[in-house]
């Protein structure tokens, strides 16, 4: 690894100033599980490394009853062990349950997972389906960006070079909501997804109609996407109809444009979307039934 100067500012303002002063010569380090590897491989050679670990207030999970706020330095392990996330935003717990190893989850942060812009990032599909808003701090103050507008291409995001992600804000889901994230992998653990499907469904309890569907897909296009045509189709349809979900799978395939990569082909990714969307929906619905049984 090439030498650099290490900084550990104690406030977000100091961190922004350091970043602003050093421009492209600086890298932020959160958990380090991606950056340290890139520096070892010589793919990233910053002259200044700015650690966010001593900045107060950005490593907490807060829930007000109306919104969930996750600090950018919250680790995947802390999300995994958060009762409120498992109970109310279960698709986000699904995303971290099988992300790397315990050792990696103890270090890696949700902010790093988002800002790297990796198409395979596990938390991103769920955050897309949750309509999360990203809160940045820059030289001109705060800026918020909906996560659905954040990704511009593999490794390319709307984050300015002198901005730091502080918080991820998620509005509470309406009553009758259920969710699921499925990561399709070749091995059970320690693998990146071939495809990710995240889904939030809102049921009209009495009629068993799907009032609203929000579907986030990762690796289904060059950037994470929302399957908006599929969402429109599903809204107002019977929630538990497998014929309906099969058709939704077809629509989702049609609005996807997956890449062929060394992991798998575009054609196979389309097959996964078709099979996985109904599966994810019925697993979400099963969670809803369990909630309703518990009352």
Residues that bind another protein in the complex, under the rule CB under 8 A:
1-6, 8, 29, 32-33, 36-37, 39-40, 49, 51, 53, 77, 100-104, 106-107, 188-190
**Which residue(s) pair with 156 in the sheet?**
153
Residue 233 has which token pair?
Answer: 């189709």
Report, in Å, the least distance between residue 210 CB and another protein: 33
How many whole angstroms separate alpha carbon 263 and alpha carbon 295? 43
Q: Report the 3 state secondary structure along 99-165.
A: CCCHHHHHHCEHHHHHHCCCCCCCCHHHHHHCCCEEEEEECCEEEEEEHHHCEEECCEECCCCCCEE
Residue of 233, 235, 258, 257 lying closest to 247 (CA atoms): 233
Between 108 and 288, CB nearer to another protein: 108
Would you say 1 or 84 has its CB closer to another protein? 1
Output the smallest distance, CB 101 to another protein, in A: 2
Alpha helices for 191-265 (secondary structure H) = 228-234, 242-254
Positive or negative, the Cα torsion across 273, 149, 12, 163?
A: positive
Cα distance between residue 18 and residue 161, in whole Å: 11
**CB of residue 262 to another protein, shortest distance in Å:** 17
CB neighbour list of residue 229: distance below 8 Å, 6 or more residues apart: 251, 254, 255
Q: Residue 138: helix, strand or coil by DSSP?
A: strand
Q: How buried is 235 (Cβ within 10 angstroms: 0-12 exposed, 13-18 middle, 19+ buried)?
A: middle
In the complex, least distance from residue 290 CB atom to another protein, rounded to whole angstroms: 21
Q: How many helices (H) and strands (E) are present in the chain, helices listed first?
A: 11, 14
């Amino acid at each position: 690894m090439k030498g650099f100067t290490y900084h550990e500012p104690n406030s977000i303002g100091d961190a922004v100033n350091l970043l602003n002063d050093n421009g492209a010569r600086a890298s932020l380090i959160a958990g380090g599980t991606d950056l340290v590897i890139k520096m070892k491989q010589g793919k990233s050679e910053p002259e200044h490394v700015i650690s966010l670990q001593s900045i107060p207030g950005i490593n907490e999970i807060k829930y007000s009853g109306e919104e969930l706020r996750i600090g950018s330095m919250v680790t995947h392990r802390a999300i995994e062990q958060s009762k409120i996330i498992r109970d109310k935003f279960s698709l986000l717990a699904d995303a971290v349950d099988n992300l790397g190893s315990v050792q990696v989850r103890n270090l890696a942060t949700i902010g790093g997972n988002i800002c790297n812009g990796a198409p395979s990032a596990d938390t991103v599909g769920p955050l897309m389906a949750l309509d999360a808003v990203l809160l940045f701090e820059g030289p001109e103050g705060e800026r918020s960006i909906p996560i659905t507008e954040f990704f511009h291409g593999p490794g390319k995001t709307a984050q300015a070079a002198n901005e730091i992600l502080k918080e991820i804000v998620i509005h509470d889901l309406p009553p009758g909501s259920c969710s699921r994230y499925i990561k399709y992998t070749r091995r059970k653990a320690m693998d990146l997804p071939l495809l990710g499907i995240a889904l939030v469904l809102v049921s009209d309890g009495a009629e068993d109609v799907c009032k609203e569907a929000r579907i986030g897909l990762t690796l289904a296009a060059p950037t994470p996407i929302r399957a908006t045509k599929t969402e429109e189709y599903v809204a107002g349809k019977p929630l538990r109809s497998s014929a309906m979900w099969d058709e939704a799978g077809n629509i989702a395939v049609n609005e996807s444009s997956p890449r062929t990569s060394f992991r798998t082909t575009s054609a196979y990714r389309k097959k996964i979307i078709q099979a996985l969307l109904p599966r994810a929906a019925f697993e979400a619905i099963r969670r809803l039934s369990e909630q309703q049984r518990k009352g």
